[in-house]
Every structure is written in C-alpha cells, then in structure tokens.
A and B are shown apart, each in its own frame.
Chain A
Amino acid sequence: MSDISIMEPSGPKPKLWLEPSRIGVYAFLVITALYFLFPLYIVIITSFKDLAAIRDGNIFWPQLVYPEGTHWYDPWYRAWFEVCTGLECKGISPNFWNSVIITVPSVIVSIAVAITTGYALSNWPFKFSEGFFTILIVGSFVPYQVMLYPMVLLTKNMGIYSTLSAVVFVHTVFGLPILTLLFRNYFASLPVELFKAARVDGAGFWRILLQVFLPMSLPILTVAVILQVTGIWNDFLFGVVFAGLPNYPMTVKLNNIFTSTFGVKEYNVEMAATILTGAVPLAIYFLSGKYFVRGIAAGAVKG
C-alpha cells in the first residue's frame, strides 16, 4: 500500500528487501523485465559471434572462444565499414552520417517553428488559433499514408523532392503537432505575471520570447530535442520516400542490408548493424532518463 494510514503505528516502517507479501509483485516485474531484455541480450551476443557459432551454437549462449586470427569485434567492423548492399560495399557508416545530416537540421528547424507557434498560441491567442491547434493535433493522428502522395507532389512542386530539404521539410511538418503541444503547455504553465510584467516593461512579442521565455525553457527544450532526435533517427518511411538514394538514412540502409541477398547471409554482421542503428536513440534514452519519459507523456497528460 502506498501510504501509511493514520490507524497504523507511526514512525518509519521496517523495510525488508523482500517482504514475503511482495514476492509476487517482484516476481511479476522481474519476469516481464526479462521478456523486455531478452531480445537485446540475444542481439548483442549474436553480433559478437562468428558464423560457425551461429550455425552450430545456441542463441542463448555467447561465444567465448574465437578461432585463430578472428576477433570478437569483426562483425562490428564489417557492419560499419564493409557490409554490402547491392554492389556498394561501404558499410553502414556513410548512412550514419546521412542520418546525422538529416537529424540535425530537422531538429533545429522543427523546434524553432514549434517554439514560436507554441508561444503564440499560449500567450497571444488570436481568432481561430484554438481551431488551428485542434486541427493540428487531430491531424497528427491521421495515418501518414493518407498524406504521403500529396506531400510528394508538394515537395516536387517546391523543387526539393529527393533532397535533404524535403526530409527536413517533412519532419518539420509532422513533428509540429506534438512539439507545439509540448511548448504550448509549458508556456501556459509559466506564471502569467511574468508575461504581464514583461509587457508592462514594454517588451513585444519577439523580445518576450527571446529574452524572457527562451532562457526559461531549457528543460522543455531538452525534452523536445530528445523527442525529435529519437523520432527522426528512427524514421523509415519519410527517409525512403523523400530523401533520395544518396541521402538514405541509417534505418533505410539497415533494411536494405537485410533484403539484399548476395552470397552468404552474415547474420552476425546484420545484428551488429542493427545495434549500430539503434545505438544513438538508445544512448540518448539511457542518458536522458526522465526527460524521455516526460517527452512521451507530454502528449497524453495535460501539463
């Protein structure tokens, strides 16, 4: 029970590491945690095996002994520098940089647009502003496939289809709803006196944003950056449709590695490439802790 009610003796509750009544709770949590951890474990140990160990061995056990001349990191090296898709054998590293090149401007542009919009909506409402916002939020739940083809035409007409700009544009468009919600709610939660004081002191729209609100929004900016970096890094559909062949992000390349079958399938290299693709968002996730949770909860729980 979450709290000690008045009828019970006061003072600190004696706490055992495992009270008998709670074994069930912990058992449930540990078993489910194992289910969640299991795939990560399997993939990591597979990525360090050689092909013989994969063929003959068991997926549960790691390979401990390596034959003469081979190293435990060989699959990772191949995945990063050498793995082929079609005739191109440059590994996944060029696409890692593509992902970086896509992610950085997309994150900056989408957040810059969203922070202004969120600020305008929360502090300077105008006629129909709530209506626009409602449509924006509802629109974000519409399947992307509905808007995919018109967006292709739109970017073609803008002359940016199949370029980096198109991906940045599309990520800005589809990232706007959640980010705007995030910033709008955050700015609405700031004390209104702050805004009023700045107004009385003669600050205008942009000055309040840049000199009063922006310096205060570091926590929410962190949340937004985490949300966008993971989201954009993990995107597949927009990358494959809008980026164009030379700009394919890592997720698209990873999928191509799996589907292009030339010669022997190198499962260990594929798994290493998989982990490499997931590494950036995972690292962000593990380092950011509660900010990530805050980001995903922002959409559902009104702040």
Chain B
Amino acid sequence: MTSMAIGLAEVRHEPPFTHLFSQPIRLGAAAAVAALAAACLILDWPFARIGVFQPMMLTLGFVLIQYIADIPFRGQWPKLAVMAAFLAAAGAAWIAWYSSGAWISQEAADMAWKLASVGLIALLLGAGVWNAPYKNFHSKFASIPMMFIVLFAFIGCSLWTMTYSLSDARIYPVFTFVGLKQYYRLFSVDIWEIAWKNGLIYLVLGTSISMVTGFFLAVFMDQKIRLEGLFRTIYLYPFALSFIVTGHVWAWIFSPAYGLEKSVRQMGWASFSFDWIADRNMAIYCVVIAGVWQGAGLVMALMLAGLRGIDDEVWKASRVDGIPKWRTYLQIVIPMMRPVLITTFVIVAAGAVRIYDLVVALTDGGPGVSTTVPAQYVYKYLFSGNIGQGLSAATVMLLTSAIILIPWVYVEFVRGRQQR
C-alpha cells in the first residue's frame, strides 16, 4: 500500500483486506468490475425493468469501495458483511431484471438495493470517521459526485451514444446491431448534407470572425485608452444574453418587412436590399452575424487578459529596437500569446460545434430547411422516434469536436505535463 500524501499518523492496524488480496488482485478485480459496469452501461442500461440504474450504481459502488475506502478497518467483518450484502443486492437486481421479475420480484430487488445502498453509505461513512487520517479518505469521499459525473455522465453517456449509433433503435432504445447502416443513411439524407455544411460554415466563419474581431478589439483596448471599462462593458454585454434572446433580437433586425431593409428604404435609399434571412443561400450568414455579435466580446476579454500578461519589458525592448508596433504585435506578441489563442480557439470552436439555440431562435432552420444545423438534426431525430439516426449524427458531432479537442488536449495536458 502506498502511504498518504500528507501522512501524519502511523498505520495503527495492518489493514486486513489487503492481506486477503494482494495489490494486483485487487486492481484486477476493480478493473473487472469496472468493465462489468461499462458493459452494463453500454448494453443494458436502457432496458431496465427495475431500473438498470440501480445495478449500475451497485457495481459502481463496488468499484468505489475498492478505490475510495482502501479501508483499514479494525475488524474485517463489518466490511466483508456489507460487501456481501452489497453483492447479493446487485445479484438480486440483475436476476430480477434479466428474468423480468419471474425469479426474484422487482420489489424485492428494489428493497435489497435500497438496504445495500444504505449499508454502502454507512460503510463509507464509518470507514471515514473511524480512520480519518488514513489514505485521504475524505478527499475521495468528497469527490464521489465528480467521479460519478466523469464516469457516467461524460464517459458513460458518450460511450452509450456511440454504441447505440450502431443500432437500429427507433422509438425505444433497444440495441439491435446494424453496423454502420445509420451512418450510410445519414450521409444519404439531404437535410444532413445541408446541416453539416451549415455547421461547417458556422464553425469556420463564426470562429474565425469572432477570433479576428475579438483580437482587434483587445489590441485597440490595450492602447491605454480612456473609458476602457465602458467599452469593455459594451463589447461584452451580448455574452451575458441568452442565445434565444440574441436570436430573436437579430431576427427582428433582419426581418425585411419590418427591420433594417424597410427602414433604410424609408429613409430614402430606395434600392437598399438586405433580405438575407429570407434567402435560402444567405440565411446562414445571418446566424454567423448574430453569433459573432454575441461571441466577439468573450474573445476580446480573453485576449485582453492575454495581452495584459505580456511583460512590459517586451514592449520596451521592441521600442528601443525601433520595431513598428504592428510588427511587434505580429511577430512577438502573437507568438507569445499562443496558449491563450489556442484555449480561446478551443472554447469558441467547441461552442460553435454545439450551436443550437441561436438557430432555433433566429431562423428555426428556415427558410425551409436551409439553415438546419447538426444539433437540430440530432434533436429532431432523437425525440421523433428514430433514436439510432439521431445518435449517429450526434456521434459525428462528437468526432468533429474531437478533431478540435485532441490537439489541444495533447498540448495542454500531455506535453504540458511532460515539460513541468
């Protein structure tokens, strides 16, 4: 056993459990149970009669017991008893569920689960109170919600979506393997072609225009100007608004019958034309305009923080050398700001991939289906009885964001850690 990071107390009793099973065996058992939990999650979760959530929680609980409470109890019996009860309850839940209640009634399994979970909580608490200075128990205990969210919400749900995108699930999420059929279908549907092209337009244009605008705003804001606070407030306030609000506001301005076009014509410029929102080919650019309006302030704030982080000595040096300002920005400051630029790009681009509310409010996919975006496609199929199709589109969205995220994760987490 490894000792705790901040170890004050000596180990008072040799932990009995670690004597029963050696470290590799316990790790192996934990890995096996984790695999079981994953299998449960991927294959069976949705068809639960008594709620597969419960056996899932049980198996997770078992893993967590292994992991969190590396419990050096004063006696091994309380722990083993709870573990046994726990596994019995898990077994009961699984049997009840597989037999649809024929062998073990679902109520009984439900009750077993409840008792076992009470036991689990009692055990965890008991272990913590009893052996507080050991093994960083409280920290792990406090992190249970985070572990749960990481394991089940982020990893589990993504895996589930990817798995079921290979199924023929329609109204009910039932797994019948059909291979890549949903993907073949996806890429033969016209709406999806419109959707991914729009998504790409929004991703490329929205992100690049936001980045450039935001960067210029930040540079101009960094010129020791007066009323900086006022300008920053103005640039950033759209970011505090909901996409729904932004969308409806801009829909009003773009509206040819009431908005900009009519008013400019009324003021005397009779040939003025601005009806992009009613134009199938141009409507997506309206979405880009509204998106940039909302997002540029964020980029500005992040970039400004980055610019302020540049040492004044750099500026002095470049000034002494007589380098013009624009070249200092281009060749010295921007390279120095690379981490900020990358992170900002990831934030903005990840937001652009998931764009949904703005389009719903601004055009609702119209005119016709010309501004449909991938998220809308996913939503439409998920909740209208073609789950597999929706999930395959969601998986494509996941892959798109992975293309953006993986280089960033590499730079930020993997390489950054090696350098430290």
Q: Which residues of A contact B (CB under 8 A)?
A: 1-3, 5, 7, 17, 22, 25-26, 28-29, 32-33, 35-40, 42-43, 46, 54-55, 58-60, 113, 116-117, 119-121, 124-127, 129, 132-136, 138-139, 141-151, 153-154, 157-159, 172-174, 176, 180, 199, 204-206, 230, 233-237, 251, 254-255, 258-259, 267, 270-271, 274, 277-278, 281-282, 284-286, 289, 292-293, 296-297, 299-301
Contacts and interface: CB of A to CB of B under 8 A. Distances in A.
A301 B312 CA distance: 18
Interface string B123-158: 000000000100010111011011101101111111
B343 interface: yes
Contacts of A146: 157-158, 161, 394-395, 397-398
B302 interface: yes
Interface in B153-204: 153-158, 160-161, 164, 173
Contacts of A267: 252, 258
Interface residues of B, number: 118
B244 A236 contact: yes
6 contacts: A3-B316, A133-B146, A138-B413, A145-B356, A237-B357, A284-B240
B248 A29 contact: no
A143 B301 contact: no
Given A17-B226, A32-B217, A301-B305, 4 more contacts: A32-B213, A134-B413, A143-B375, A301-B309
A285 B32 CA distance: 49
Nearest to A254: B244
A38 B249 CA distance: 10
B361 A39 contact: no
Given A5-B319, A117-B142, A154-B53, A301 B258 contact: no
Contact of A141 (B152, B346, B378): B346
Contact of A119 (B142, B173, B319): B142
Contacts of A148: 378-379, 382, 394
Contact of B6 (A119, A199, A236, A274): A199
What are the 10 closest A-B residue pairs judged by CB atoms, nearest first?
A139-B154, A124-B139, A234-B242, A205-B138, A157-B53, A285-B240, A150-B157, A143-B354, A147-B157, A141-B350
Given A54-B258, A255-B244, A285-B240, A136 B173 contact: no
Given A120-B142, A126-B140, A205-B138, A142 B158 contact: yes
Contact of A25 (B48, B149, B220): B220
A273 to B, nearest CB: 9
B234 A36 contact: yes
A107 B233 CA distance: 24
A152 to B, nearest CB: 8
B155 A116 contact: no
Contacts of B394: 143, 145-146, 148-149
B266 interface: yes
Given A32-B217, A146-B158, A153-B173, A234 B53 contact: no
Contacts of B161: 146-147, 149-150
Nearest to B50: A157
Nearest to A7: B320
B74 interface: no
A129 B241 contact: no
B249 A293 contact: no
Nearest to B356: A237
B52 interface: yes
A25 B301 CA distance: 18
